[in-house]
Amino acid sequence: MTLTLDGASVNDTLCAGLARILAEKFDIQFGPANSRIFCLAHVVNLVVQKILNVFNEADDPDLEDYHNHSKSFPVHYNAEDDPSLTELEAEPAPDGPVDTAEEDADVDMMNEMADELRALSALRRLRFVCIKICSSPQRRARFRVIAQTKYPTTKNSKGVRLALLMVIRDAIDAWVFDRRELRSLMLNNADWDLLEALGNLLKPFTSVTLQMSKRSTPTLPWVLPMYDIMSSHLEDARDNSSYPEVLRTAADAGLTKLNEYYPKAQENQFNVIATLLHPSLAAGFFASVDAQHKAKGRPASNMLEKATILFTHAFESYKREYDNEKAHSAQTAVLPPAINPTSITMAASSNARSSQRSKNKLEDFWHAVEDYGAGEEQSPLTWWKDHGSNFPVASRMARDFLAIPGTSVSVERLFSQARNVCRDTRSSLKAATIKEAMLTKLWIKAGYFDL
């Protein structure tokens, strides 16, 4: 039994209480330290917030956790799926002169704010400029004209994508410089270099959220690889002497926050076993972690050895259950008709070979990738569907472990959405009714019904 929860302290109390109730009432042993999976989406949020805190762009996550305010949003932001951005990009380029009356009316206010704006960090000035650009059709039109002037060879009929800030920096600079009252927001080369470096520092976290937000593939096997990607990336940034000092400090702060959770994830049996059960990751991932430690001159991590021992222990537990079921099935089977001695000899030989294969099933699993290939990285369930019959015990483990989510955001979002159905004034609804109402809503949104 396991629980996937975010890192909120209230969940520590929940796990402790659950462990006590399970032990007292059901004689079930539940160890929170080894049975709780920390939501990776929450960890990513904490690490990024810690990084931005160094730039004074976010509160310290130890004091104010922004994740509590963002649970209703998708784990991963995809610009292609943003209807607001699509609507902005679809606006046609202006045919004639751009109306600047709205900007003219703001001249006095912007002049009064000049000193305050000039004191802002590069990131806040860029954010202020982007908000200004998008705040009205007239400002967007002026920016579009400038962008098309700066990039006349673009073939994008929608104009330059507003989200690609580093690519269109010249257009942003020209848009700001074009209005005297906005020049306090100008970004110099050092500002742009810092912003680009910060963007590179944060880029892997976008890849992590993308992987962990996928619904068509198990997420738990990717928890440890994603931790490893983030850890290695932040270590490299921290040790990169060419980076600005503030960026290296931010990387170190993010790494410190990450290391509050990474060791716990490495010790969690569910993370380890799920990774081994993913044919594209399997033992190779743990071997690569050991190799990285050795290459960096660190003490041996022995991750592969620990993972093998843990998996073997779990495998033997599942095998005992499998053998008991098989023995019970054999006892209740109808006896076959009498057979001659030759047939008895052949049957005994066959049973001996079968028994020998059964004993070697764990060893066979370690060679599964060599024998059957690693399959598609994002389709481990397909691999198990095709080859699970060759590993009856391990396939049972895959069924149980690969079903565990690596993040809790989707479940929390479902609970939040359920409030629209089960309000305080409708609390008498039966659980089955709530379930049917929620499923109907989700199926309609997914397009399963033609309405």
pLDDT bin (cut points 50, 70, 90) of residue 399 is very high
pLDDT bin (cut points 50, 70, 90) of residue 266 is very high
Average pLDDT, stretch 277-284?
A: 94
Residue 431 clears pLDDT 60, i.e. is over it:
yes
Average pLDDT, stretch 193-203?
A: 91
The DSSP 8-state label assigned to residue 213 in this structure reads: T
What is 98-134 written as a DSSP string? Answer: PP-HHHHHTHHHHHHTHHHHHTS-HHHHHHHHHHHHH
CB 79 within 8 A of CB 85: yes
Total count of residues recorded for the chain: 451
pLDDT at 415: 54
pLDDT at 134: 87
More confident residue, 357 or 363: 363
**Distance in angstroms (rounded) separating the CA atoms of residues 261 and 324:** 38
Least confident range from 294-298, 344-348, 372-376: namely 344-348
Sign of CA dihedral 217, 220, 222, 223: positive
pLDDT at 271: 94
Least confident range from 10-14, 248-252, 436-440, 442-446: namely 10-14
pLDDT at 417: 55
Q: Which residues of 201-234 are buried (b: 16+ CB within 10 A; e: fewer)?
A: bbebbeebbebbbeeebbbbbbbbbbbbbbbebb
pLDDT in tens, 162-187: 335 556 788 889 889 988 999 999 99
Domain ranges of the chain: 79-192
Average pLDDT, the chain: 82
pLDDT at 396: 94
Predicted TM-score of the model (pTM): 0.78
Sign of CA dihedral 363, 369, 373, 378: positive
pLDDT in tens, 66-107: 887 777 677 777 777 788 888 887 887 777 778 788 788 888
Residue 281 clears pLDDT 50, i.e. is over it:
yes
Residue 151 clears pLDDT 90, i.e. is over it:
no
